[in-house]
Chains A and B, each alone.
Chain A
């Protein structure tokens, strides 16, 4: 009897402790939290660097956002919220003052100060750092950035000044209303000078890395993955629920999906092209598609070395009109992408997609107009008989499928022959940048959530304007937009001009398709830049 009582009491105690351990609930929503607060996700490729000033890839930025914290964070909808800065203001959009919180700390215990930002930004622009993203500092318009990158000015002349430990004053070359929005980018994250000077290039290795984000780098094996653990010196650590982050690197999309289905990790992005609808049926609560701020387009080479026929506006229009975007989006991609008739992604903050005429027509109307235009061009003496082009794309199944479809559409509707030319990625980039193409598949992704990140591409001097489209009015409007308090009407006009000239063929706006375990909550589905912070995630008990 005694034994029985003892056993019962032990069982009761055990039950009691389990209930306690598993009994945490979310402080705000009250949801019951799981015992194991680990978030793991899959990366397509390993990240080349964790050094914020050197990062140039999306997945690297995802990692940096956990290890470091910039002046400004984004909330679930992509709005600016305080990061290290608690408040910011500018009387004229030209001189910006950021007030920094006094409890922000590096993971080695050092306080995060305004000097850390000044140092990081000078470092990003400094030619000695040779950051491939140095140009980002220049487009934030911080004074002298361009000169520093060019090697004409000393990094210390950068227009960023620490007034005191917690006040940062930034002077721009010209007013920029959306300057704070650009501070959420990895390039602008702070850097710890003493750590970098101590370890040199190896400062981002586990054990050396000192960050100021919600997580610390615990381990990393190239090609296998990495582990991050909650950072105890983070100022807001009491509100961080996920304890551990695991990154798993799997190059193969199909293999990654199988392993996700096997329950190895929580998030798998992206899913193999074309499989999204089936996955949505199979996993209705876990298959997600959200807009992604990238646009897919065909660049038309209108430079002097480009094909003669492409210099005729009507030919360019006919080519664009006859591309049935709905077929590409609904039959090939099938992942929530949207057909594009203008360049800027429709989900860009504060951007109202302009009504582009041909976007409102039916495909039959577009096809009829295309034929009309070709006939018109022919009547005007443009040599359109036996017209043929070559479509350049980088080797990939999806690009090939799309190029094949488009060449079929052109053949059937316009009698235009389009040959396909695929090149391996780096060779393709070379060909594109040297105008060694007629029509090239291309894509452009936003660096910050504002329409100019797209539309600047179509200005004459832009380094990635590979088709060499040039319209003086577009250049002028984009220059104006930089200082305008309400640039939307300017953007609308630019989009209309590009559509009228058909300086490129917009094809679709990206969506991000991914699988996310339904117990993981707090993912910012409405953040169009897909900037996620694991500090906002939590895992609920099943």
Chain B
């Protein structure tokens, strides 16, 4: 296992480099500049701005300096848009916020989705199954951009129970709605995945044997069926987890959380070059890392898998 992990980590470095080069080139190819405005910037001022941010240098040189600063000082450069912040500062401020509501959403999605899926499979074709499937289909058609406004209308406008947005350092009442909005559709996917793979496992021979031996149902499900049934779910959870902790522009925009998701989209729109790169690298690195975690979990769950 250890050589496998080392090998995977070694591959991660060139993968990230390729990601950096591609993102840099794509960014360069996009028309427009971080400094273009409707009223236009006089050529001399534009030249000053470009000199200040190093845009007057040739592409290969800029890319080189950029990578060098990251490797030697972990410095992702100043934001082109937020003049008093560096990309490191923006990420340091926004990422913990996103991680907080992302992890909560993940826990909620897995707990409720998993429970619903197991229930539906165990009580296959009963009203419990229909209810669980009904809930998960309902949740699937409520993506976060639909959930978010509905939640605010109900809990802020009508009931007045929760603040409609903000973060305030992460007080619980500010976390509830973002978590519900973000977890709903993930929960639905987890429920459906768990249900179908659980059904498959429950129909397999060794489960039949276990039940024939007279083992109690609870033992059969939690000890024998759950682990294999989780395999397909886990391959989904890896990317889903990264998706949740790197934020959602919808959650950030609708609830003014200050999370990292909105910066990802806004930086692309405003051509905040260093910010685009910083968040892309962050997301890329997390994706690579959690894919590795999923692979390790796989080997742990399924003894047939060997690396």
Residues of A contacting B52 in the complex (Cβ-Cβ under 8 angstroms): 128, 130
- A333 part of interface (Cβ distance < 8 Å): no
* Contact yes or no, B36 A54, CB < 8 A: no
Q: What does the 1/0 interface line of B19-61 toward A look like (CB < 8 Å)?
A: 0000000000011110111111110110011011000000000
6 more contacts with CB within 8 A, not counting A51-B84, A264-B163, A430-B32, are A127-B51, A225-B256, A249-B256, A258-B152, A425-B32, A429-B38
> Which of A426, A431, A464 has a CB less than 8 Å from the CB of B40?
A464
As a 0/1 sequence over residues 141 to 172 of chain B, the CB contacts with chain A under 8 angstroms (1 = contact) are 00000001100110011001001111100000
The 8 A CB mask of A47-59 against B (1 = contact, 0 = none) is 0111100101000
On whether the beta carbons of B44 and A264 are closer than 8 Å, the reply is no
> Which 7 pairs across A and B sit closest by C-beta, in order of nearness?
A426-B32, A224-B258, A49-B83, A259-B164, A262-B156, A130-B48, A223-B258
Which residues of B sit under 8 angstroms from A262, Cβ to Cβ? 152, 156-157, 160, 164
Inter-chain CA distance A442–B40, complex, in Å, is 12
CA distance A430 to B35 in the complex (A): 11
Verify if A202 is at the interface (C-beta below 8 Å from B). yes
- Nearest CB in chain A: distance from B282 CB, A: 16
A360, CB-defined interface residue at 8 Å: no
Kindly name the residue among B85, B93, B164 whose own CB sees the greatest number of chain A CB atoms within 10 A: B164
Shortest B276–chain A CB gap in Å is: 12
Complex: chain B residue closest to A224, CB-CB: B258
Residue of A nearest to B252 (CB): A223
**Which single residue of chain A is at the shortest CB-CB distance from B159?**
A262
- Tell me whether A248 and B84 are in contact (CB under 8 A): no
Q: Which of B30, B40, B152, B269 contacts A433 (CB 8 A)?
A: B40
- In B233-262, the 8 Å CB interface with A consists of 252-254, 256-259, 262
Within 8 A of B (CB), among A310-367: none
Q: How far is the CA of A46 from the CA of B94 in the complex (A)?
A: 14
Quick check: is A389 within 8 A (CB to CB) of the other chain? Answer: no
Tell me whether B157 and A134 are in contact (CB under 8 A): no
Which residues does chain B contribute within 8 Å of A134, judged by CB atoms? 42, 45, 48
Interface size on B, residues (CB 8 A): 52
Can you show 13 pairs from A to B with CB atoms below 8 A apart? Answer: A49-B84, A132-B41, A134-B45, A151-B44, A205-B84, A221-B93, A221-B258, A224-B258, A225-B166, A225-B258, A425-B32, A444-B39, A464-B38
A424 at the interface (CB under 8 A from B): yes
Q: Mark A22-61, 1 if CB is under 8 A from B, else 0.
A: 0000000000000000000000011011110010100000
Q: Please tell me if the beta carbons of A427 and B30 are within 8 angstroms of each other in the complex.
A: yes
Across the interface, B31 reaches (CB within 8 A) one of A56, A258, A426, namely A426
Contact with B along A111-138 (1 / 0, CB 8 A): 0000000000000000111111011001
User: B residues near A, CB below 8 A?
Assistant: 30-33, 35-42, 44-45, 48-49, 51-52, 78, 81-85, 90, 93-94, 148-149, 152-153, 156-157, 160, 163-167, 252-254, 256-259, 262-263, 266, 269-271
The reply on A239 being an interface residue by CB < 8 A is: no
| B44–A48 CB distance below 8 A | no
Alpha-carbon gap, A250 to B253, bound state (A): 6
Q: Which residues of B contact A427 (CB under 8 A)?
A: 30-32
Name the CB-closest residue of A to B32. A426
Contacts of A249 in B (CB 8 A): 256
Docked Cα-Cα span, A216 to B271, in Å, equals: 31
A255–B253 contact, CB under 8 A?
Answer: yes
Q: Return the chain A residue nearest B168 by Cβ.
A: A224
Question: Is A201 on the interface with B (CB-CB < 8 A)?
Answer: yes
Q: Which residues of B contact A424 (CB under 8 A)?
A: 269
Q: How many residues of A sit at the interface, in one of the four size bands?
A: 35 or more
Known: A222-B93, A255-B253. A442 touches B38 (CB 8 A): yes
- A56 / chain B contacts, CB cutoff of 8 Å: 37
The contact string, 1 if C-beta is below 8 Å from chain B, for chain A 452-465, is 00000000000110
State whether A429 touches B32 (Cβ < 8 A). yes
A153 at the interface (CB under 8 A from B): no
| Distance between Cα atoms of A202 and B84 in the complex (Å) | 5
Q: Given A222-B258, A429-B32, does the pair A443, B38 have CB atoms closer than 8 Å?
A: yes
Given the interface contacts A424-B269, A464-B39, does A224 sit within 8 Å of B257 by beta carbon? yes
Asked if B31 and A223 make an inter-chain contact with CB atoms under 8 angstroms apart, the answer reads: no
Measured CB to CB, the closest approach of chain A to B166, in angstroms, equals: 6
Q: Which of B33, B36, B149, B256 meets A248, CB within 8 Å? A: B256
> CB-CB < 8 A to A138: which residues of B?
42
Among residues of B, the one whose C-beta sits closest to the C-beta of A47 is B82
Residues of A within 8 A of B83 (CB): 48-49, 51, 54, 201, 204
Specify the chain B residue showing the minimal Cβ separation from A447. B39
**A402 in the interface, Cβ–Cβ < 8 Å?**
no
> A537 contacts the other chain (Cβ, under 8 Å)?
no
| Bound complex: CA A249 to CA B262 (Å) | 11
Inside 8 A of B32's CB, which chain A residues have their CB? 425-427, 429-430
Given the interface pairs A222-B82, A262-B160, A426-B32, the reply to whether A463 lies near B90 with Cβ below 8 Å is: no
What separation, in Å, do the CA atoms of A245 and B124 have in the docked complex? 57
CB distance from A343 to the nearest CB of B (A): 15
A258 near B149 with CB under 8 A, answer yes
- Tell me, in angstroms, the Cα distance from A90 to B157 when the chains sit together: 56
Asked if A135 and B38 sit within 8 Å, CB to CB, the answer is no
Q: Does residue A523 face the partner (Cβ distance < 8 Å to B)?
A: no
A485 at the B interface (CB under 8 A): no
Residue of A nearest to B261 (CB): A223
Contact yes or no, A149 B93, CB < 8 A: no
In the assembled complex, A251 has its CB within 8 A of some CB on chain B:
yes
Interface contact A252-B254, CB-CB below 8 Å: yes
* Of B44, B52, B259, most A-chain CB atoms within 10 Å: B44
Shortest CB-to-CB span from A443 to chain B, Å, is 7
**Complex: how many Å from CA A134 to CA B43?**
11
Chain B residues, Cβ within 8 Å of A48? 81-83
Q: Which of A130, A250, A430 contacts B36 (CB 8 A)?
A: A430
Once bound together, how far apart are the Cα atoms of A150 and B44, in whole Å?
A: 6
On chain B, the residues within 8 Å of A203 by CB distance are: 84
Query: Is A236 at the interface (CB under 8 A from chain B)?
Result: no
For the complex, give the distance between the alpha carbons of A202 and B165 in Å.
Answer: 27
Chain B residues lying within 8 Å of A466, measured Cβ to Cβ, are 40
- Is A248 touching B166 in the complex (CB atoms < 8 A)? yes
Q: Do A426 and B256 have beta carbons less than 8 Å apart?
A: no
Q: Which of B149, B160, B253 contacts A251 (CB 8 A)?
A: B253
CA distance A173 to B262 in the complex (A): 45
The chain A residue sitting closest to B53, CB to CB, is A130
Contact (Cβ within 8 A) A255 B45:
no
Q: Which residue of B lies closest to A200 (CB)?
A: B84
Given A203-B84, A222-B93, A223-B257, A258 contacting B45 (CB threshold 8 A):
no
CB distance from B179 to the nearest CB of A (A): 17
* Given A49-B83, A149-B44, A224 contacting B256 (CB threshold 8 A): yes
Given contacts A222-B93, A264-B165, contact A255 B254 (CB under 8 A): yes
**A254 interface neighbour in B45, B149, B270, Cβ under 8 Å:** B149
Decide yes or no whether A261 CB sits under 8 A from chain B: yes
> Is the CB–CB distance between A248 and B38 below 8 Å?
no
In the complex where A51-B84, A424-B269, A426-B36 touch, is A252 in contact with B253 (Cβ < 8 A)? yes
What separation, in Å, do the CA atoms of A464 and B259 have in the docked complex?
A: 36
Query: With a CB–CB cut-off of 8 A, which chain A residues contact B30?
Result: 426-427
A50 to B85, CA, bound (A): 11
In Å, the complex CA distance between A54 and B258 comes to 23
Chain B residues with CB under 8 A of A202: 84-85
State the CA gap A294–B42 with chains docked (Å).
21
Q: How far is the CA of A434 from the CA of B71 in the complex (A)?
A: 38
Q: Which of B35, B36, B83, B258 has the most CB of A within 10 A?
A: B83
Q: Are A149 and B149 in contact (CB under 8 A)?
A: no
